[in-house]
Amino acid sequence: MSRPTLAGPGRRGLHPGAWWLWAACLAGAASRTTNPILLLLLGAVVLYVAAARRTDAPWSRSIVVFLRLGLVVILIRVVLVIVFGNRLPGHVLFTLPHVPLPSWAAGVSIGGPVTAEAVLAAVVQGLRLAVVLVCFGAANSLASPYRLLRCLPAVLYEAGVAITVALSFAPELVMAITDVRAARRLRGRPVRGLAGLRGTAVPVLERALDRSLQLASSMDARGYGRRVAVARGVRRTATGATAGGLLLVVAGVYGVLVAGSLPGGGIPFVAVGAVLVGAGLATGGRRTNRTRYRPDPWGLPEWLVVGSGVVALTSLVVSGVLGVPGLEYVLSPLRPPTLPVAAAVGILVGLVPAWAAPVERTAPVTRVTPRTRPTDGAVPGAPAPVVTPTVVRGRTVA
Amino acid sequence: MIRFEDVTFSYDGADRPTLDHVDLVVGEGELCVVVGPTGSGKTTLLRAVNGLVPHFTGGRLSGEVLVDGRSTREFPPRELADVVGMVGQNPAASFVTDVVEDELAYTMENLGLDPAVMRRRVEDALDLLGLHDLRYRPLGTLSGGQQQRVAIGAVLTASPRVLVLDEPTSALDPAAAEEVLASLTRLVHDLGLTVLLAEHRLERVLPFADSVVLVPGGGGRLNVGPAAEVMVDAPVAPPLVELGRLAGWDPLPLSVRDARRLVSPLRDRLVGAVPPRTVPVPDGPAVARLDRVTVRFGDVTALDGCDLEFRAGEVVAVMGRNGSGKSTLLGQLAGVRGPTSGRVQVAGQDPTGLSPRDLVARVGLVPQDAGLLLYGDSVAAECRGADHDTGLDAGTTAAVLERILPGLPADRHPRDLSEGQRLALALAVVLAPAPPLLLLDEPTRGLDYPAKARLVTLLGDLAAAGHAVVMATHDVELVARVATRGVVLAEGEVVADGPARDVVCQSPVFAPQVAKVLAPDPWLTVDEVRTALEVGAVRG
């Protein structure tokens, strides 16, 4: 069987790992700058690619949620700065009445003059966090966490499940909220405002928890976590090596942090520990014999996508190391941000996936004609048709 | 193949065991149907086969459950995955992955099968269950029946020796159900697969059954044996068996074909009796209407230019194959989402614009996943909450519940109820305030025949009191008993709309069992036949 190629017959769009690496690179890039122009540019690049390459799958909607979350983050930061005051000197926009606090709350102040600098700083910091959130949302939208999990090697699979459940929590929650809100409406209970929020939160969390329990039992019933018979000695060695290795790593890190506490500054401990953990995991991995159904291929588009992310990240890191002006937004004296051209061009390279990545399919390429295409069994007077359950259309209400 | 040896099981905190000294042997290559009233412990029995009970549920199990010689005491469910395939009652809850194809391959991946083998089996399963067009579809976008078929396919690919299915056909349209059961029979015959399945729609599965296990509930003794013997006095019986009991047939016929061979004496007794006339569609005021309503999800058209009007006093059955737009139609009437084009009006208003409080006074909807409607932490609290929400007198909802399913423990958490009990509770919550328009999506899933009969009475009363009832259902027996009007959807279009009797009798797919047996005379239900016989006896 030949490997499916870029435009081949498979459904797979891009390798999910490529999407997540690309998003991680752009998120990393966002954390290297406070220049609002660059941050907005990054956000626009990520949103454009996500919009160009997302499918109509339910998880594709998660980017909208993350975008909203990002806006909320900015808002919260600004409100906090206005209320609790970040006493940056500068242009006073307005002054809130100062609330006197008891002496034990020294260091906290409520009200006072609000400067343009303080508000701007809050906006920029919130913006940075929002861009990171949007990157995460884009990765979620473009490749579901489950598909990412499929690509992990068997050794890491079990650890990966925990991560995946954590990652899939966000889209699950979004779907649960939609369902619960619709159902609450049907019960005639408020869905908006504080009462609505309170009434929705508990059932949503309950459902999420229920869903995890059902997922666990279903995975178990379907053979997840099966063990190949391995000699008890081997098993114990593997467990021992992993545990011992982890202990050594912890001790070593302590040595690195507290100078002079361990010979060699703790580095030998970390090294030996890491080797032990690796060996333990590899031996332990032999106990599971998972195989993979139609693994995602890694080809030219994947390299292009990851490469574009790396270019974006590198352009910012290098600019930072070289001390290119404009990467950090200096608030005093207050003036519009400048545009570091090299970094901006680097970020724009991040747009490559909008063209390089193949679109993921949700319908088969060659449409096989159903064996019988009944008009319908119930047309009065029609002869008894042989109805096949070949159904193409349809979705549930939610 | 499956052997229960003196198995007793009780859930934590339960005052009496759910399974009490159960002895059961299901041989290799046998298709065994588990029957019993709602909440009698069928699901518990099934889940004990691969050890989900008690490994995942907790509780105390004594005795021994052996599958293919392996005891669930020593082997947890995952180590039995290559022997037992388990399809739960709610397929959506059992999905692990997010795309159809991956879901079909999941168990095989865990078993470590060769990729080439996996590829072939996935293709086979896609063909066997007619899933080819759905292979890349996200699981969340499938209709209920499609999900059911994916769930069955997902366990079949691992080629287990035992297949355990909990209500495998309740979400399927009659044709799809027959297709699934036919494929199961084929597997039983060709591969010696052992199948244990629980089902409330006995009319669908009994013709295929080798043996029947009757779980009477309340920890009573199991009755195991050939289907025709067990069904003689089973508390749950499909219309065919009831007809057989009425006519005194021995052995009881289990398929329409068997019954037709025995039917001539009964036909003679019915000579001269007139089958009830087609019930005229009541001419009440319009409660809701759809004007050229089209609904699209992405490039999928769920409803396509529907023109429908629902009048007070009608019981409308909306039928059609899985994914034909039935649920979407109900969702439109309840204002769950707006139409892509066209206009929906309920009591003269657009339902999407109504506040929840105004909405609930006009429309009540029981969705397919009835549990969504329940938030209380006990049955009693749920009923109280419903009374409070809609300003009813205290105890109204509880009384309605008592009418549908008597004796539901009031302190039980809705989550711990069986699927059918949960549905009954949701029905009670929605029916209690008696809104002018009632929408029910698959209202008989998991309900036994007595509960179904009580629901039929309740719906009949509501319709007589001037309420409009619209139900999306695959249950033709329910349609035969209560519906006044039938609407058939296909590909989002209305293809038939008329008196229910005509709609179901004109199509062999939707015809109820009694109609099939007594065709060409248009008798629909056992009750009609019984009444005719009684009248005849009085006359004669």
Instruction: Quick: pLDDT tens for B209-261.
Output: 999 999 987 777 889 999 888 988 888 899 999 999 999 888 889 999 999 99
Helix (H, G, I), strand (E, B) or coil at B529: helix
A-chain CB neighbours of B89 within 8 Å are none
Banded model confidence at residue A382, pLDDT cuts 50, 70, 90: very low
A-chain CB neighbours of B108 within 8 Å are 291, 293
Say whether both A352 and A267 belong to one domain.
no
| pLDDT for A199 | 76
Q: Which of A186, A210, A368 sits opposite B334 (nearest CB)?
A: A186
Q: What percent of chain B has pLDDT over 70?
A: 98
With respect to residue A73, please indicate whether it lies within any of the assigned structural domains.
Answer: yes
With a CB cutoff of 8 Å and minimum separation 6, the contacts of B518 are B263, B266, B267, B270, B529
Compute the distance between CA of residue A94 and CA of residue A197 in angstroms, rounded to an integer: 33
| pLDDT for B389 | 83
Give the chain A residue nearest B53 (alpha carbons).
Answer: A217
Stronger pLDDT, B60 or A104, i.e. the higher one:
B60
Amino acid at B305: G
B-chain CB neighbours of A378 within 8 Å are 319-320, 486, 488, 495-496, 503, 506-507, 509-510
Say whether both A120 and A238 belong to one domain.
no
pLDDT tens sequence across B366-382: 988 888 888 888 899 99
Q: Which of A183, A292, A364 sits opposite B132 (nearest CB)?
A: A364
| pLDDT for A210 | 77
Tokens 């942090």 found at = A257
Measure in Å the smallest separation between the Cα of B52 and chain A Cα atoms.
Answer: 7
Banded model confidence at residue A362, pLDDT cuts 50, 70, 90: low
Q: Does the distance separating the beta carbons of A387 and B140 come in below 8 Å?
A: no
| pLDDT for A371 | 38
With a CB cutoff of 8 Å and minimum separation 6, the contacts of B440 are B365, B366, B427, B430, B469, B470, B471, B472, B473
Window 146-205 of B, Cβ < 8 Å to A: 146, 149, 154-155, 158, 172-173, 175-176, 179-180
A-chain CB neighbours of B79 within 8 Å are 226-227
DSSP A295: P
**What's the average model confidence in pLDDT over A375-384?**
36
What are the angstrom distances between the C-alpha of A142 and each of A32, A128, A135, A243, B161? 24, 21, 11, 36, 38
Q: Does the distance separating the beta carbons of A225 and B112 come in below 8 Å?
A: no
With respect to residue A20, please indicate whether it lies within any of the assigned structural domains.
Answer: yes
A-chain CB neighbours of B76 within 8 Å are 220
With respect to residue A195, please indicate whether it lies within any of the assigned structural domains.
Answer: no
The whole domain housing A263 covers 232-285
Banded model confidence at residue A86, pLDDT cuts 50, 70, 90: low
**What's the average model confidence in pLDDT over B102-120?**
92
Q: Is the CB of B434 inside 8 Å of chain A's CB atoms?
A: no
pLDDT tens sequence across B142-191: 877 788 889 989 998 998 999 999 988 887 888 888 878 888 888 888 88
| pLDDT for A109 | 75
What is the spatial order of strands in the sheet that B341-346 belongs to? Answer: B300-311, B286-297, B341-346
B-chain CB neighbours of A144 within 8 Å are 98
Is residue B152 a contact partner of residue B169, using CB atoms and an 8 Å limit?
no
pLDDT over 50 (residue B334): yes
- Across A29-38, A274-283, B275-284, least confident range: B275-284
**What's the average model confidence in pLDDT over A359-372?**
52
| Exposure b/e, B218-234, CB count within 10 A at least 16 = b | ebeebbbeebbebbeeb
**What's the average model confidence in pLDDT over A30-45?**
93
Mutate to test the interface with B, among A230, A369, A376 (most CBs of B within 10 A): A376
Helix (H, G, I), strand (E, B) or coil at A254: helix
pLDDT over 70 (residue B481): yes
Q: Which DSSP string do the residues of B411-457 spell out, in sequence order?
A: TS-GGGS-HHHHHHHHHHHHHTT--SEEEEESTTTT--HHHHHHHHH
| pLDDT for A153 | 64
Banded model confidence at residue B538, pLDDT cuts 50, 70, 90: low
Is residue B7 a contact partner of residue B171, using CB atoms and an 8 Å limit?
no
End-to-end CA distance of chain A: 40
Say whether both A240 and A318 belong to one domain.
no
| pLDDT for B278 | 61
Stretch (H or E) spanning B64: strand B60-67
Q: Which of A210, A364, A379 sits opposite B415 (nearest CB)?
A: A210
Q: Is the dihedral of CA B222, B228, B229, B233 positive or negative?
A: positive
Stronger pLDDT, A29 or A383, i.e. the higher one:
A29
Compute the distance between CA of residue B283 and CA of residue B9 in angstroms, rounded to an integer: 54
**What pairs with residue B490 in β-bridges?**
B493
Q: Does the distance separating the beta carbons of A389 and B322 come in below 8 Å?
A: yes
Q: What percent of chain B has pLDDT over 90?
A: 39
With respect to residue A380, please indicate whether it lies within any of the assigned structural domains.
Answer: no
Q: How do the residues of chain A divide into helix, strand and coil, expressed in percent and rounded to 5?
A: 60, 5, 35
The pLDDT mean for chain A works out to 78
A-chain CB neighbours of B429 within 8 Å are 187
Q: What percent of chain A has pLDDT over 70?
A: 80
| pLDDT for B211 | 93
With respect to residue A41, please indicate whether it lies within any of the assigned structural domains.
Answer: yes
| pLDDT for A378 | 35
| pLDDT for A165 | 66
With respect to residue A258, please indicate whether it lies within any of the assigned structural domains.
Answer: yes
| pLDDT for A106 | 67
ipTM value > 0.90: no
| pLDDT for A385 | 36
pLDDT tens sequence across B432-475: 888 999 999 989 888 889 889 989 999 999 998 889 999 999 99
Say whether both A82 and A110 belong to one domain.
yes
**What's the average model confidence in pLDDT over B186-204?**
89
Say whether both A43 and A117 belong to one domain.
yes
Measure in Å the smallest separation between the Cα of B16 and chain A Cα atoms.
Answer: 25
Say whether both A237 and A130 belong to one domain.
no
pLDDT tens sequence across B255-279: 999 999 999 889 888 888 877 766 6
Q: Which of A179, A385, A388 sits opposite B372 (nearest CB)?
A: A179
Q: Does the distance separating the beta carbons of B108 and A292 come in below 8 Å?
A: no
Banded model confidence at residue A156, pLDDT cuts 50, 70, 90: low
Stronger pLDDT, B336 or B540, i.e. the higher one:
B336
| pLDDT for B439 | 94
Window 34-73 of B, Cβ < 8 Å to A: 50, 52, 55-56
| pLDDT for A251 | 87
- Across A216-220, A238-242, A253-257, A394-398, least confident range: A394-398
Say whether both A57 and A129 belong to one domain.
yes
Tally the domains of chain A. 2
The candidate with the shortest Cα–Cα distance to B331, out of B290, B371, B286, B375, is B290
The candidate with the shortest Cα–Cα distance to B285, out of B314, B265, B264, is B314
Compute the distance between CA of residue B451 and CA of residue B243 in angstroms, rounded to an integer: 19
Q: Which of B119, B143, B486 sits opposite A394 (nearest CB)?
A: B143
Banded model confidence at residue B196, pLDDT cuts 50, 70, 90: very high
Stronger pLDDT, A326 or A49, i.e. the higher one:
A49
With respect to residue A345, please indicate whether it lies within any of the assigned structural domains.
Answer: yes
pLDDT over 50 (residue A161): yes
Quickly count: other Cβ atoms within 10 Å of residue B274's Cβ.
9
Amino acid at A274: A
A-chain CB neighbours of B87 within 8 Å are none
Side-chain half-sphere exposure of B195, counting CA atoms within 13 A:
33
Compute the distance between CA of residue B400 and CA of residue B397 in angstroms, rounded to an integer: 5
The per-type count for chain B, helices as H runs and strands as E runs, is 22, 19
pTM value is 0.78
Work out the burial of residue A298: count CB atoms within 10 Å of its CB; fewer than 13 is exposed, 13-18 middle, 19 or more buried: middle
Q: Alpha helices, DSSP H only, in B143-289? A: 144-156, 174-191, 202-205, 227-230, 239-247, 256-262, 264-269
Banded model confidence at residue B90, pLDDT cuts 50, 70, 90: confident
| pLDDT for A367 | 38
Say whether both A277 and A349 belong to one domain.
no
CA angle B125, B209, B245 (to 5 degrees): 145
pLDDT over 90 (residue B508): no
Is residue A175 a contact partner of residue A211, using CB atoms and an 8 Å limit?
no
DSSP B120: H
The pLDDT mean for chain B works out to 88
| pLDDT for B141 | 79
Residue ranges of domains in chain B, CATH in brackets: 2-234 (3.40.50.300), 237-269+511-540 (no CATH), 286-507 (3.40.50.300)
Say whether both A36 and A138 belong to one domain.
yes
With respect to residue A131, please indicate whether it lies within any of the assigned structural domains.
Answer: yes
Radius of gyration over every alpha carbon of chain B, rounded to an integer in angstroms:
23
Say whether both A140 and A102 belong to one domain.
yes
Window 358-387 of B, Cβ < 8 Å to A: 359-361, 363-365, 367-369, 372-373, 375, 386
| pLDDT for B539 | 57
Compute the distance between CA of residue A346 and CA of residue B134 in angstroms, rounded to an integer: 40
B-chain CB neighbours of A395 within 8 Å are 141-143, 297, 300, 302, 323, 328
Compute the distance between CA of residue B386 and CA of residue B397 in angstroms, rounded to an integer: 7
Say whether both A34 and A135 belong to one domain.
yes
Q: What percent of chain A has pLDDT over 90?
A: 23
**What's the average model confidence in pLDDT over B294-299?**
83
Q: Does the distance separating the beta carbons of B110 and A226 come in below 8 Å?
A: yes
| pLDDT for B67 | 93
pLDDT tens sequence across B30-52: 999 999 888 888 999 999 998 98
Measure in Å the smallest separation between the Cα of A395 and chain B Cα atoms.
Answer: 5
Mutate to test the interface with A, among B70, B79, B98, B377 (most CBs of A within 10 A): B98
Say whether both A333 and A246 belong to one domain.
no
Compute the distance between CA of residue B259 and CA of residue B526 in angstroms, rounded to an integer: 13
Amino acid at A393: R
| pLDDT for A391 | 35
Quickly count: other Cβ atoms within 10 Å of residue B481's Cβ.
24
Banded model confidence at residue A7, pLDDT cuts 50, 70, 90: very low
